[in-house]
Amino acid sequence: MQTRDFLLIAVALLLTVVPITSRAVVEQQLRTAAAKQVNIDRGTDKQGKIVETRTKVMGSKGRLVTIIQRPAGAKGRVPVTIFMHGFGGSKDGVFMSTIADSILSRGIAVVRFDFNGHGESEGKFEEMTVPNEIEDAKCIYKYVRQQPWTDTTRISLAGHSQGGVVAAMTAGELGDSLVAAVVLMAPAAVLRDDAIRGNTFGVMYDPLNPPAVIEIAGGRLRLGADYVRTAFRLPIYETAANYHGPACIIHGTGDRIVPYTYGLRFHQLWKGSEYDELPGFDHGFSQDIHRLANLTAEFLGNKIGRP
């Protein structure tokens, strides 16, 4: 076992004893759960169910490592879901792969990538902001739209936590003529209110004069002041309001990181959207990840894939 993996497991065990309500901690737990990595170089899997390739797409701060999974045997162009991870997370691991597998089962290709400063992608974590993650998402969208296997009329966006905020705002910027459907999983719109309160991931500061660097997760992650400055004025719901297409919001009432009311507000904003409120479910949907995966796949299957 590598030293890094040992440290992540040790942190996870500690967190089961000491209750902490920092979003950063929850995202770190998701990274710990990612010990089961996806084999991203396999081409066609043993069952012949998917074709998987790996590429790099230029993003806001450098190249973004990207995994593309397509249903094997699919003829012509196929619908695509661009799936975005949360703060401190990555494209890999049980959470992302479980949901991706369910989406693939509906005949929909899935594109996952590491945001700048995360995972295998280029860029420094302390230079990451929500606005430049939105730029990353748009770069991935442009790449996907240009591929010969993409049905450009059926490109959807999905995201968890901060990735949900990015998905919502990207959909608002691109509009429903370019985005066929959106799925938000525990969207972390609370990040703006946290910045206004001067309390980001449990670290207190003067919101009008944030420190150059905010150390979180025991100093393992260093967040730059630009993250706070941009979050302070981030027009999350205002931008998302420009999207008018099909949408589904899934949130647990037991989420202590992002209260479910932030997800409910998206549902109220997007008329006709679906809203799945899961009693007692936490921010990482650890009670039953397969239920989250099935709800996501069912919605996308009905809107852009196979019912």
170 by DSSP, 3-state: which?
A: helix
**What are the backbone angles phi and psi of residue 67, rounded to the nearest 5°?**
-110, 130
Higher pLDDT, 152 or 38: 152
pLDDT number for residue 278: 99
Confidence grade of residue 245 (pLDDT, cut at 50, 70, 90): very high
Cβ proximity of 205 and 228 under 8 Å:
yes
Confidence band of 73 (pLDDT split at 50, 70, 90): confident
Alpha helices (H) along 175-288: 190-197, 225-232, 236-240, 260-269
Per-residue model confidence (pLDDT) at position 48: 53
The rounded percent of the chain whose pLDDT value lies above 70 is: 84
pLDDT digits (tens, 9 = 90+) for 157-183: 999 999 999 999 999 999 999 999 999
CATH number for the domain harbouring residue 246: 3.40.50.1820
Degrees, nearest 5: CA angle 235-239-242: 160
Range(s) of the domain holding residue 28:
3-303
Q: Which residue has the higher pLDDT, 51 or 219?
A: 51
In the structure, what pLDDT confidence band is assigned to residue 45 with cuts at 50, 70 and 90? Answer: very low
| Structure-block tokens of residue 226 | 């630009």
Structure tokens at 304: 């852009």
Average of per-residue pLDDT across 264-283: 98
Kindly list the distances between the CA atom of residue 167 and the CA atoms of 57, 107, 213, 270, 307, in Å, as whole numbers in the listed order: 18, 21, 26, 14, 23
> Does an H or E element contain 76, and which?
none
* Contact yes or no for 113/64 (Cβ under 8 A): yes
User: 118-136 pLDDT, tens per residue?
Assistant: 999 999 999 999 999 999 9
Q: Which pLDDT score, from 0 to 100, does residue 150 have?
A: 98
Residue 198 has pLDDT above 70, yes or no: yes
What burial letters (b/e) apply to 286-295, b meaning 16+ CB within 10 Å? beebeebbeb
* CA pair distance 135, 169, nearest whole angstrom: 11
pLDDT tens-digit readout, 3-28: 333 333 333 333 333 333 344 444 44
Q: How many domains does the chain have?
A: 1
Nearest CA to 74 out of 141, 148, 146 is that of: 148
Q: What percent of the chain has pLDDT over 90?
A: 78
